[in-house]
Structure 1
């Protein structure tokens, strides 16, 4: 389990019961019973009004914890969520750090800036020697100012799946992330090779990646000479069933034959609604999703851009370890990894070579 293998280090707050139930695909009652057993065994403690935390294990002689022996290095990892997108990023981080004999203190900001601030302070106070950070830049009023302020941290850090939004040319921030624009271009190039010309984008607003995906769509359609139909290019914070139904009608009326969706769940809902309105997928409407979290489930498995989540986490951990060893001589690294395109039934054909 995550407590035994060190993913949830002493003092780490556990995800809320609802998140655990969704992640493990069990009922909330099952989670409550399991947590109750952990409390009875003294492995976790419930704090009124705060949550459930992994118990610190005191050493009788030196006051150190059994999970963090004397001399063992610790890395703090702060992510927005422990249930969607980031579990595979954390898996990559954990694999590298475990091999290096380094422990992990994991915390989730739950997309809340106040929690993010408190968790970052708590990790600094816990004595970690480095930080891997996924800050909520997309909901900040001054995201570049926040990134600039991170330079005052007294320990090395690397941003993960985030980058300075408006950096100066000599910005020293190191980061590892997904080349979202490159992934979108892979998908649209594939659709063009299948003969699609009039395309749409059913997108999102105010997520950590939505702006990069939207820009990637605009850049790729211009590069590839595709006709991005204005009425079928739409982004919202949340898509309701009625809005997706209206979007399908718009695509049908405008002659749109392919839609790029951000992300899987909206794409799956689009496929269901298109079929309900009498369209066949992929013959009448090809669909490609971005995320590849749940794309392969459903009656029509979704072709999807698959961000290299585990690889991003692993490379970020390797980079942080090198920065910790180099100290003040550490070089700045800016790394982007291109996603894969996983071709399934929703676009109607296997990958083919597309001429430039």
Structure 2
């Protein structure tokens, strides 16, 4: 495969970080490129201040840490679609694992714009990232098929809260994420244990998690033998929560006394709207929310599916560090962590978190 100049220079930096001072001819042999090409790239990197040259050899600038086999000194780029709420915990987990070995985490944010994924990743590589944790801006309409370029990145890469397809260029990428479908099944199983035979889903459509929640709901309804109920749509930009609340009131009047709401920001905002319409939680409608970011702050506190956000970030970073230490000798890992169901007053059940 022909490398782009950016890919060549990223690979040069990766080798220099790992080996310290390297002769240019040895560097060219290690990467498998013509010496003249490597000299040109080294000159460009030296001009940027990313390398220093001396007597036919190159090294990191004075004071720049070399990368140890345990990941010390490694720069890891992390792409997330947003900061705040859900992804803050994922980032915190990744940062904790990086800090533990002396690696440095550098963040890029795409704001859920797929076109910005590549721009942000390119910037992370220019910042010296020797490994990447990526959460691409995939949606049900714009999925992994738009991200084939990720499979061509020149540094070890782990997908975070995204699953690669079983076939295609991304199939050999590592991934760590939450098993959202299992989380939905746990929520519906709990509601069934409380005597509910129909559960309404109110959900968004704009994110990968929303897609997994909807798919998990369809699977859980079939697995538990529940009567099917049409999904209540939550607009991803400005959901009309007044209309959603009215739909939930009508559902409760028709005998549907349980609902799962994705996500818990919307569930929290729905709670007072339901109360103003005379619907009490959990007496008239048992409610479970999804994400468990602010669910405990609702009135009443919301039972919630809690994806293991911090653990996902930490496990993704630890997997990347293991690949760094093994220099690509590890098998591909597709890791899914099970969410917890945190039981609170909104569903009428009591108990401890369960899986």
Report the TM-score, using the length of structure 2 for normalisation: 0.76
Q: Which stretch of structure 1 is more off in the superposition, 78-87 or 159-168?
A: 159-168
Gaps of 5+ in 2: 1-47, 54-58, 68-72
Q: What is the Cα deviation at residue 233 of structure 1?
A: 4.2
- Check conservation: 2:271, 2:299, Cα contact below 8 A: no
Equivalent position of 1:27 in the other structure = none
Corresponding pairs, count: 296
Q: 1:80 corresponds to which residue?
A: 81
Which segments of 5 or more consecutive residues in structure 1 lack a partner in the other structure?
1-55
Per the alignment, in what secondary structure is the counterpart of residue 190 of structure 1? helix
Range with greater deviation from structure 2 (154-163 or 110-119) = 110-119
Compared CA separation, residues 215 and 65, structure 1 to 2 (3 A): farther
* Alignment CA distance shift 1:65-1:187 (3 Å): farther
**Structure 1 residues 233 and 224 mapped into 2: Cα distance closer, same or farther (>3 Å)?**
farther
Larger radius of gyration: 2
String of CA shifts for 1:238-289, please: whole Å, max 9, x gaps: 4213322332233134311000000112212222222111121101100000
Q: State the TM-score, normalizing by the size of structure 1.
A: 0.76
When residues 116 and 164 of structure 1 are mapped into structure 2, their CA distance, relative to the original with a 3 A threshold, is same
Deviation at 1:225, TM superposition (A): 1.4
* Residues 1:301 and 2:297 are matched in the alignment: no
Residue 287 of structure 2 is matched in structure 1 by: 287
Contact map agreement 1:144 1:166 (CA 8 A) in 2:
no
Q: How does 1:75-114 map to 2 (within 5 A)?
A: 75-114=76-115
**Pairing of 1:180-329 with structure 2 (within 5 A):** 180-230=180-230, 233-237=232-236, 238-329=238-329
Root-mean-square deviation (CA, aligned residues, Å) is 2.8
Once the two structures are TM-superposed, the CA of residue 197 in structure 1 deviates from its matched residue by: 1.1
For residues 311 and 223 of structure 2, what CA distance do their matches in structure 1 show?
Answer: 28
CA distance, structure 2, for counterparts of residue 58 and residue 143 of structure 1: 33
What secondary structure, in the 3-state scheme, does the structure 1 residue paired with 2:102 have?
Answer: coil
- Tell me the CA shift for residue 143 of structure 1: 2.4
Cα pair 1:64 1:70 within 8 Å, conserved? no
Residue 145 of structure 1 deviates from its aligned partner by 4.4
Distance 1:65 1:85, change over 3 A: farther
CA distance, structure 1, for counterparts of residue 351 and residue 125 of structure 2: 47
Bigger Cα displacement from structure 2, 325-334 vs 293-302: 325-334
Q: Give SS of 1:90's match.
A: helix
Q: Is the Cα–Cα contact under 8 Å of residues 190 and 352 in structure 1 kept in the other structure?
A: no
Aligned to 1:124: 125
Tell me which protein shows more helix as a share of its residues. 2
Query: What SS class does the counterpart of residue 158 from structure 1 fall into?
Result: strand
Partner of 1:69: 65
